[in-house]
Amino acid sequence: MAEQRESIVRAVGLTKVFRDFWGRPKAKAVNDISFTIEPGEVIGLLGPNGSGKSTTVKMLLGLLYPTGGILNVLGRSPRAVETKREIGYLPEESYLYKYLTAEETLDFFGSLFNLSRADRKKRIDQLLDMVGMAHARRRRVGEYSKGMARRIGLAQAMINDPEFLILDEPTSGLDPLGCKEVKDLILTLKARGKTVLITSHLLSDIEDVCDRVIILYGGKVRAMGGLGELLTVSDENRIVTPALPQAAMNEVLKILRENLHGEEFTVDHPRRTLEEFFLDVITKAKSDNIETAGVSGGGKIAEYLSKGDEKSAVLESLVQEIKPPPPREPAEPLPEQKGETVDRKLEQLTEEPKSAAPEPETPQAKPDEKLKEADAKLNDILGNRK
Ligand SMILES: Nc1ncnc2c1ncn2[C@@H]1O[C@H](COP(=O)(O)OP(=O)(O)OP(=O)(O)O)[C@@H](O)[C@H]1O
């Protein structure tokens, strides 16, 4: 069926006007927008508060009726029951019944989709393992931290093996490791041919997983396109090389000065993101077997989602994937001169962990005190370890 569909979503001139008690227009929440979402793509819906994202999502879910325009979801009206069966939705706030356990919650949602008892049981086991919540399956949802509830919300959105997933702020309330797992999960779902729409205020999350973005403001589409096309600064160049010896660097600078005729340029060291650095620290701490509570790392991809191909079980290989940076040869200092910025912070950033967290000689070796302290502080800050 999916092969015959041209687009997962087709919106043409979509408009939603909210009216007041007397039927007078109160807010034009969505104003004549047109877009498509193609099968297998991950698309980000962005915009500041009040720009019309939730209203658009509610129309896609068939919860709000458009005032004007055409809206097709999975080739049908968004209000059709068949359409709803093939959509998974993670709301911004996870609306979970606090007296049910995780198992009971997923069993309830599975029964709404008429899954057999045996199928429900199998999927629940796999999903709880996948979102790292198998150990808390018999605890009431009301006792969960925000991040734990978010993980159950994600499992709930996938119980029906949906073709099209709408995830509203999927990483909200998750710690950086949880964010990384959810992003990997989204990429795995994409590799399985699922289509995913994400709304998020965390632009770095969107950038990590989305193929395309739609940016709304005042109910109108202000920008739309592939991230490569929108973000590449095509009239500038960046060359990244291993650290060059001073003589070679002087030659490069000479060539640049000759060719740029007085225009300013920048030479610096590349910088890792804080997320990469953080994940390195936690991965090292994990390899030291430091105890933690709350959620465990996500398990392997649920079998019914993975279709038997375990090679791309990204969650499973999360820890192995995050490799520490290769040891750097001591680079000769770059010459300080006009137009050349040497980013010393990078060196501090990459060199500190070497002294703060030396590689353990054996897996049982005691972790460095500083690393322990940092881990304890992070647990305090993240606040979702129970
Ligand atoms: N039920 C409603 N009745 C009247 N106006 C509404 C209603 N729902 C939304 N609006 C208005 O429509 C506009 C768009 O709201 P919407 O909730 O879609 O924005 P949003 O982009 O999702 O914002 P946020 O990021 O804060 O969730 C806002 O001006 C809002 O006040």
pLDDT of residue 280: 82
The rounded Å distance from CA 88 to ligand 1 centre is 22
The rounded Å distance from CA 49 to ligand 1 centre is 8
In a domain, 12, yes or no: yes
pLDDT of residue 324: 43
The rounded Å distance from CA 55 to ligand 1 centre is 6
- Distance (Å, rounded) from C-alpha 77 to C-alpha 74? 8
- Shared domain for 22 and 153, answered yes or no, is yes
- Shared domain for 118 and 224, answered yes or no, is yes
- Distance (Å, rounded) from C-alpha 16 to C-alpha 25? 10
Domain boundary among the residues 200, 231, 262 is at: 231
- Distance (Å, rounded) from C-alpha 255 to C-alpha 233? 22
- Shared domain for 183 and 296, answered yes or no, is no
In a domain, 290, yes or no: yes
In a domain, 198, yes or no: yes
Residue nearest to atom 11 of ligand 1 (CA): 29
In a domain, 63, yes or no: yes
Which ligand 1 atom minimizes the distance to the CA of 216?
Answer: 21
- Shared domain for 227 and 353, answered yes or no, is no
The rounded Å distance from CA 167 to ligand 1 centre is 17
Domain around 217: 2-231
Residue nearest to atom 17 of ligand 1 (CA): 54
- Shared domain for 25 and 101, answered yes or no, is yes
The rounded Å distance from CA 334 to ligand 1 centre is 52
* Domains of the chain: total: 2
Ligand 1 first shell, C-beta below 6 A: 18, 26-27, 29, 47, 49-55
Residue nearest to atom 16 of ligand 1 (CA): 52
Residue nearest to atom 18 of ligand 1 (CA): 52
The rounded Å distance from CA 27 to ligand 1 centre is 8
pLDDT of residue 45: 94
In a domain, 236, yes or no: no
- Distance (Å, rounded) from C-alpha 49 to C-alpha 315? 32
- Where b means 16+ CB within 10 Å and e means fewer, 26-36 reads eebbbbebebb
Residue nearest to atom 1 of ligand 1 (CA): 18
The rounded Å distance from CA 367 to ligand 1 centre is 49
- Shared domain for 375 and 293, answered yes or no, is yes
In a domain, 163, yes or no: yes
Residue nearest to atom 8 of ligand 1 (CA): 55
pLDDT of residue 345: 37
CATH of the domain at 214: 3.40.50.300
In a domain, 351, yes or no: yes
Domain boundary among the residues 171, 196, 231 is at: 231
Single-letter code of the amino acid located at 304 = Y
**Residue of 55, 65, 200, 222 best suited for mutating to test ligand 1, as the one with most atoms within 8 Å of CB:** 55
The rounded Å distance from CA 50 to ligand 1 centre is 5
Domain boundary among the residues 208, 231, 254 is at: 231
The rounded Å distance from CA 146 to ligand 1 centre is 24
- Shared domain for 125 and 183, answered yes or no, is yes
Within 13 Å, how many C-alpha atoms sit on residue 42's CB side? 22
Give the DSSP H or E segment for 120: helix 117-130
- Shared domain for 182 and 291, answered yes or no, is no
The rounded Å distance from CA 219 to ligand 1 centre is 9
- Shared domain for 111 and 51, answered yes or no, is yes
**Which tokens sit at 142?**
């009301």
- Cα 217 to Cα 46, 170, 267: the distances in Å are 9, 21, 37
- Shared domain for 75 and 130, answered yes or no, is yes
- Shared domain for 63 and 161, answered yes or no, is yes
**Residue of 22, 24, 51 best suited for mutating to test ligand 1, as the one with most atoms within 8 Å of CB:** 51
- Shared domain for 119 and 211, answered yes or no, is yes
**Residue of 15, 53, 201 best suited for mutating to test ligand 1, as the one with most atoms within 8 Å of CB:** 53
pLDDT of residue 381: 47
In a domain, 244, yes or no: no
- Residue spans of the chain under pLDDT 70: 1-5, 94, 289-302, 304-386
Residue nearest to atom 26 of ligand 1 (CA): 49
pLDDT of residue 142: 87
pLDDT of residue 226: 92
Q: Euclidean distance between the first and final Cα of the chain, in Å?
A: 44
ipTM value, please give it.
Answer: 0.97
pLDDT of residue 134: 87
Residue nearest to atom 2 of ligand 1 (CA): 18
pLDDT of residue 368: 54
Q: Which of 294, 279, 300, 251 is nearest to 386 (CA)?
A: 294
pLDDT of residue 293: 52
